């Protein structure tokens, strides 16, 4: 797998008034044959939803869906009986499996919500649908990486049906940290910079830039300014 860089201003853009979104990979009306997926990472959408608006009930199947609110709160309801609100600092996972219907709305009537909607291809089809969410302490990822999503047999983070590891780091300017990929044989690590500026293996990223690296590379990350970074360590689909 070769390294790739996706600058923020090259993402697919949609503006429906109530929804403004940037798509790192092909999604909906945005189709780029060179950006279908990165290993098993299929969707990375940076969504902003207007106050009181949202996605009406719609179905999913055989997909692991991760939502990470960056600002504001997101209201969730699904066909397996789950209803709740996820806020900035929390992470939500949903295994669509054999089929699930859900809706997502901005919980606020006055402020927009900004969240990352991420889809990962599962390690098998026909899994039982499930939902989970968890609050993660920002202090526990200060100048280091904190696991927020992991495989089922791990005790770290929220689990999904894939050998995928999501880690977040809040780094002070000048801090240098390393990350050893876990899918060393097949796969890679996709880095998405939420805010700030970093250098990863001599690749400089600014806010909302993304870059994928082979799983054979140790990632050396230097924060050029205060930064928040999401690493998605995903296997290739065989």
Residues of the chain with CATH 2.60.120.10: 11-135, 138-235
pTM for the structure as a whole: 0.96
200-221 pLDDT, tens digit each: 999 999 999 999 999 988 999 9
Best CA proximity match to 124, nearest among 95, 100, 147: 95
Residues in the chain: 238
- Give me the residues paired with residue 95 across strands: 64, 130
- Residue 7 to residue 211: CA distance in whole angstroms: 8
Binding residue positions: 58, 60, 102, 104
Kindly indicate the confidence band of residue 223, based on its pLDDT and cuts at 50, 70 and 90. Answer: very high
Distance of CA 104 to the CA centre of its chain: 16
Q: 11-135: which CATH number, 1.10.3720.10, 3.90.45.10, 2.60.120.10, 3.40.50.2300?
A: 2.60.120.10
Q: Are 83 and 89 in contact (CB under 8 A)?
A: no
Q: Is the predicted pLDDT of residue 238 greater than 80, yes or no?
A: no
What are the binding residues for Fe cation? 58, 60, 102, 104
Give the span between the Cα atoms of 125 and 31, in whole angstroms. Answer: 25
CATH fold of the domain at 138-235: Jelly Rolls (2.60.120)
């Amino acid at each position: 797998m070769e390294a790739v860089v996706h600058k923020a201003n090259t993402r697919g853009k949609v503006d429906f008034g109530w929804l403004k979104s940037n798509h790192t990979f092909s999604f909906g009306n945005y189709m780029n044959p060179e950006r279908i997926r990165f290993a098993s990472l299929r969707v990375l959408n940076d969504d902003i939803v207007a106050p009181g608006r949202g996605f009406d009930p719609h179905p999913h199947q055989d997909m692991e869906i991760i939502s990470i609110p960056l600002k504001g709160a997101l209201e969730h309801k699904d066909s397996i009986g789950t209803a709740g609100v996820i806020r900035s600092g929390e992470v939500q996972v949903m295994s669509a499996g054999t089929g699930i219907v859900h809706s997502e709305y901005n919980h606020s009537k006055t402020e927009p919500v900004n969240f990352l909607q991420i889809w990962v291809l599962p390690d098998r089809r026909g899994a039982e649908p499930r939902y989970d969410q968890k609050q993660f302490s920002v202090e526990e990822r200060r100048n280091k990486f904190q696991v927020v999503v992991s495989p089922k047999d791990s005790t770290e983070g929220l689990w999904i049906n894939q050998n995928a590891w999501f880690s977040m780091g809040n780094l002070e300017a000048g801090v240098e940290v390393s990350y050893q990929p876990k899918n060393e044989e097949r796969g890679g690590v996709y880095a998405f910079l939420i805010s700030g500026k970093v250098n990863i293996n001599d690749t400089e990223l600014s806010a909302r830039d993304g870059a994928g690296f082979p799983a054979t590379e140790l990632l050396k990350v230097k924060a050029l300014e205060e930064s928040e970074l999401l690493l998605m360590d995903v296997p290739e689909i065989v």
